[in-house]
Structure 1
C-alpha cells in the first residue's frame, strides 16, 4: 500500500474583505489539490478530515496530513483531527520553519501569482480575492505540470483528462437566464448581467458574481461576452463590412535561443527617419526626381547560408516527416533581415560600377558622375530613388524586377506612413491620415481641439504605480512616431510624457490626450521642406555649397523630480528642418552655462554626423553656424576656460570646443526669443509657440490634398 502526503497551510496575509459574502473568511490550501474558505482556523481541521476521508475512500493507499504548527490556539498541544479516520496519519510541522513546508509554500506563491494576474486583467477590486484565488487553484489543478511528467494533478487523481471547454475568461460579462416565474412582468429582462467567476464543484452550473449585491449566483443557462477589454469596450479587430480573404502565412518561431547563440551576427542595418528628409532636401536642391519602388515578399528572396530545419505545424506532415529544411529566409528568422540586406546590397552594388555605398549611412547608395546623379535610400523592402535620369531609373527597376518581384510605385507620395506632396521647389510631409486614424482609435472624434500640445507650466509627478486599464503606452508610442516623422511641434510634450512609462496615472493620460486634441485641431498642418533658392533673401549661398546651421537650447533644472535639464536641438539644411530632438540630460547641471554647453556638444555630434554623411555627395558651407542664447556657454566653447565654475564639467561635454577650434563650427549668439530650439525644451505660451512652430516649417496650407 502506497503513502500519499497532503500539506495543510493557511493562506496568510490576505486582505480583509468588507463584502458580506466573504466576511470573516480565512483561506486554507490543502496541497496539492484543494482550496477553500473557512470562518476560523480550528474548523480547517474538520474540513481537512472530511476532504481526506473522501480521498481515502477513492484510493487504496494511506494518507499523511502535515500542517504547520505556529503556536496558534487551535493547534496548541498538538491537537489532532476532530474526526480521526482510519488510514490517515497526522504530523505537525515545527513552528516558524516554513522551509519544512517548502512544497506548499511554493504552491502558495504560484497561486498568488496567478490570482494577481486575474485581478489585474479582470478589473475586479481586491475585495473579491477569494473568488480569484479559488479559480486560480481550479485552473492549476487542471494544468500540465513538469514534476508530474507533464500530467495535470486532476489526471493523476482521477486517471482521466477533464474537458475544459466550459472555461471562460475570468471576469467576463455573463448574461444569466431569468426564469419566467421570477420576472415581474412580460417585458422584464430575460437575463441578468453578471460576471463570470468560476464553476460549481457539485454541479455543472457556472458561478456568477453580482457586483451590485456582492452575492454569488449559480446558473446553468448563461451567455458569455468574452471579447471585452478592460475599458468595457467590445474588442473588434476587423471591419464588419469587409470580408477578409482566407490566407495563411508561414512564419518561424524559435523554440529556444540555443541555435541563435551560435550565429556570428544577425544585425541588419536600417535607415533613420532623418535620412528620408535628407534625401528629399537633396533632391530639391539638386533638381532630382524622386521615385518609389517596393519589393514583394523581400525576405523570401534571400538564400540561407546555414542548413536550418524547422518543425512543421502540428498535424501537418510532408512525405511522412514532421520537419523540413528551409531554403529561404522566411519571416520570423532572426537572420532574415540580415540575409535580405546582404542580398539587396550585392545587387545594387553590382548593377552599376559607379555605385558607392555611404560609409556612415549603410542604407544610402549614390552615383555622382558627370551628367548623372543617383541617390538610393533602402528601408527594408522600400527603395526611394532620386535621380536626374529617368532612363537610368527605368532600367534599374527592370533589372531588379527580373530577379526579384517588385513594384514601381512612381513618384514618391507615401513612405513609412508619411505622405509626401510636391510643389515648385518644395515638398510637404504630412501624417493627416495616421493622425485621423489614431483619433478614431481612442474615441476622441468629439474631443475639443487644443491650441497647445502641453500647457505652459505643466508639471507632472510620477505616480505610485501604473494603471493597467489606461492605454498610456500604446497612445504614447503612436504619438512618438508622429513626432519623429513630420510633427516636431509636439516633440517636447511627447518627450516629457515618455518619462512616465513606468509610473503613469489618469493625470498623465489626460495630458497625453491633450496632445491628441492639439493634433486634431492641426491635422491639416504639414512640414515644409524647400530649396535654397526659396529661402528669404540673405540666407542662400552663391558658392554652390549647401548651408547648414543648428540651434541649441536648454531648460535649466526643468524637471521638478530629478532637477535635470532638458535640451533641444534643431538642425537646418538649406533652410529645411532636418534633425530635431528633445532629450533630458543624463546628469544634473550646476548652472545654466553647464546645461547649455551640454546641449551644444550634443548638437555638435549631429553636425559631425551630417557632414560625414554628405562628404562625398555635396559640399557643406563651413564653418557651420551654431546658435545659442547663453554667452557663458559660447565663451566656454570658444576658449580653453578653466575655473571653479567649469572645471567639473565632463570631457565628453566639451566636444563642441574641438569642432570650434577646427573651424568646422562657429558658436554664435542668438536672442532667446529667436532661438527656435526653445520649443523643444519646455511648454511655451501660445504666442511664442506659434512663432517657433512656423520657423520649424509646420504650416497650414490652403487646399491641402496630402495623402497618408
Structure 2
C-alpha cells in the first residue's frame, strides 16, 4: 500500500536481509478471503467460508436466518450461572474474530456477549445463537473498500455514545467508526471506564476515543504520502461538540479527567475539526446499541458491509453508502 516506487524500494530492502518469494496478489490470509477487482478499483474482505464453518461447528448450519444480530429489547431475566457445559466462550471467541477482520456489523452484539464469559446461562447462549442466525442470513456479506470517481483522500470518524446503558453499573457505551474516503478502516464498541454524569459527558468521552484513532489514521496517511483535508470528527451531541471548542473549566465539566480533553487540544492545534451530524446519519450508532432492522440496515450499508453475489447491487449500494463525510463537509 502506497506509492509503487516506495513499495518496490521496501521490497528490495527486505530482500537484502530475508529470503523472499513473490507469489502474486494475496487472495487468502488468516481465514480472510481478499477479493481484488482492479477494473472497479475495489477490494472486498470476506469471511464467508469461516462463517459457514462456525455455523457447522455449533450445529446451526440449518437454522433460520435473522435480519439483525440482537433484539432491540433483549431479555433482562438472567438466571444463575449454569453448571451445564455450553460452548459459550468458544462461540463468543469465534464472533470476536469475525469482528476483528471483516464484520463491524456484529461488533456491539459481540461486545455485549463478552461481558458474560465468566458467568453465563442459557439466556446468554440463546443471545449468542441469535448472532449466528444473523450470520446465516448474511454469510455472503463482506467489507467493501473502493474508490469513487472524483473523490479525494478524506479522513473522518463518527463518534457516538449510549448514556448509562448498563442497568447494573450504569456506565455508558462508546462507539466509533473511522473512515478513509468513506471506507471503514477501524471501529470499536466499548464500555466507558467512568460513570458519566450526563449524555454530553458520555459523548465527549466517546469523542476522545474516536480522536485517538483519527489522529493515528491521519498520521498513517501522511507516512504514505497521501494528502488530505483536516480530519473530521463527527458527533450528534451539540453540547459535546461545544466542549471541544471551549477552553478552560466550566461548572458542569470541570471534573472531567484531563485525558479526555485531548479532543479539545487537537481542535486547538487544528489537527482535527469537529462537526455536528444528525442522529439519522450517525453511523457509529450501530456500535452503541441494538437497533431495529431499518436503521441497522442503513448503517450496515453505510459501512459497506455488502453482499458479494450481485456485482450490480453491490456497486449501487457502495455508491450510496456512507451518507456523511462528503455531504456533511459541504453543509
The CA deviation at 1:466 is 4.8
| Alignment match, 1:485 | 101
Residue 61 of structure 2 corresponds to residue 428 of structure 1 = no
Aligned equivalents of 1:523, 1:632: Cα separation in 2: 40
Residue 302 of structure 2 corresponds to residue 688 of structure 1 = no
The CA deviation at 1:607 is 1.5
Secondary structure at 2:244 match in 1 = helix
**8 A Cα contact 1:622 1:665, kept in partner:** no
| Alignment match, 1:604 | 211
Aligned equivalents of 1:467, 1:412: Cα separation in 2: 45
**8 A Cα contact 1:622 1:664, kept in partner:** no
**8 A Cα contact 1:548 1:620, kept in partner:** no
Instruction: From 105, 110, 122, give the equivalent of 1:506.
Output: 122
Which ranges of structure 2 fall in alignment gaps of 5 or more residues?
312-331
Secondary structure at 2:80 match in 1 = coil
- How many residue pairs were aligned? 309
| Alignment match, 1:592 | 199
| Alignment match, 1:453 | 69
Aligned equivalents of 1:468, 1:547: Cα separation in 2: 51
**8 A Cα contact 2:142 2:305, kept in partner:** yes
1:130-529 matches, within 5 Å, as 279=1, 372-374=5-7, 404=19, 407-423=21-37, 424-460=40-76, 464-467=80-83, 469-529=85-145
- C-alpha distance 416-677 of structure 1, shift in aligned 2 (>3 A): same
The CA deviation at 1:620 is 4.1
Aligned equivalents of 1:622, 1:650: Cα separation in 2: 30
Aligned equivalents of 1:431, 1:512: Cα separation in 2: 18
Instruction: From 545, 549, 573, give the equivalent of 2:156.
Output: 549
**8 A Cα contact 1:460 1:508, kept in partner:** no
| Alignment match, 1:631 | 238
The CA deviation at 1:399 is 6.2
The CA deviation at 1:575 is 1.7
Offset from partner CA, 1:388-429 (integer Å, 9 cap, x none): x9xx96x779767xx64x654321111121111011211011
The CA deviation at 1:461 is 6.3
| Alignment match, 2:318 | none
**8 A Cα contact 2:218 2:231, kept in partner:** no
1:70-149 matches, within 5 Å, as none
- C-alpha distance 699-447 of structure 1, shift in aligned 2 (>3 A): same
Aligned equivalents of 1:436, 1:397: Cα separation in 2: 37
Aligned equivalents of 1:466, 1:490: Cα separation in 2: 25
Aligned equivalents of 2:237, 2:107: Cα separation in 1: 23
- C-alpha distance 414-663 of structure 1, shift in aligned 2 (>3 A): same
Aligned equivalents of 2:75, 2:33: Cα separation in 1: 34
- C-alpha distance 445-585 of structure 1, shift in aligned 2 (>3 A): same
Which ranges of structure 1 fall in alignment gaps of 5 or more residues?
1-278, 289-371, 375-386
Question: What RMSD, in angstroms, separates the aligned Cα atoms of the two structures?
Answer: 2.2
The CA deviation at 1:445 is 1.3
| Alignment match, 2:168 | 561
Instruction: From 217, 223, 240, give the equivalent of 1:616.
Output: 223
**8 A Cα contact 1:564 1:588, kept in partner:** yes
**8 A Cα contact 1:420 1:429, kept in partner:** yes
- Larger displacement relative to structure 2 (559-568 or 460-469): 460-469
The CA deviation at 1:430 is 0.1
**8 A Cα contact 2:196 2:202, kept in partner:** yes
Aligned equivalents of 2:160, 2:265: Cα separation in 1: 19
Aligned equivalents of 1:459, 1:635: Cα separation in 2: 37
- C-alpha distance 680-579 of structure 1, shift in aligned 2 (>3 A): same
**8 A Cα contact 2:82 2:122, kept in partner:** no
Aligned equivalents of 1:590, 1:668: Cα separation in 2: 23
Aligned equivalents of 1:500, 1:603: Cα separation in 2: 26
- C-alpha distance 635-616 of structure 1, shift in aligned 2 (>3 A): same
The runs of 4+ residues in structure 1 deviating greater than 4 Å are 395-400, 459-463
Aligned equivalents of 1:397, 1:461: Cα separation in 2: 57
Offset from partner CA, 1:520-551 (integer Å, 9 cap, x none): 110111110112xx16x7xx23xxxx210010
The CA deviation at 1:621 is 2.3
TM (normalized to structure 1)? 0.42
Instruction: From 668, 674, 686, give the equivalent of 2:281.
Output: 674
**8 A Cα contact 1:596 1:630, kept in partner:** yes
The CA deviation at 1:464 is 3.3
**8 A Cα contact 1:601 1:653, kept in partner:** yes
Give the structure with the larger helix fraction.
2
- C-alpha distance 600-586 of structure 1, shift in aligned 2 (>3 A): same
Give the structure with the larger strand fraction.
1
- C-alpha distance 526-441 of structure 1, shift in aligned 2 (>3 A): same
| Alignment match, 1:267 | none
Question: Greater Rg, structure 1 or structure 2?
Answer: 1
**8 A Cα contact 1:462 1:503, kept in partner:** no
**8 A Cα contact 1:463 1:503, kept in partner:** no
TM (normalized to structure 2)? 0.87
Q: Indicate the structure whose relative CO is greater, using CA pairs within 8 Å and at least 6 residues apart.
A: 2
**8 A Cα contact 1:611 1:620, kept in partner:** no
The CA deviation at 1:484 is 1.2
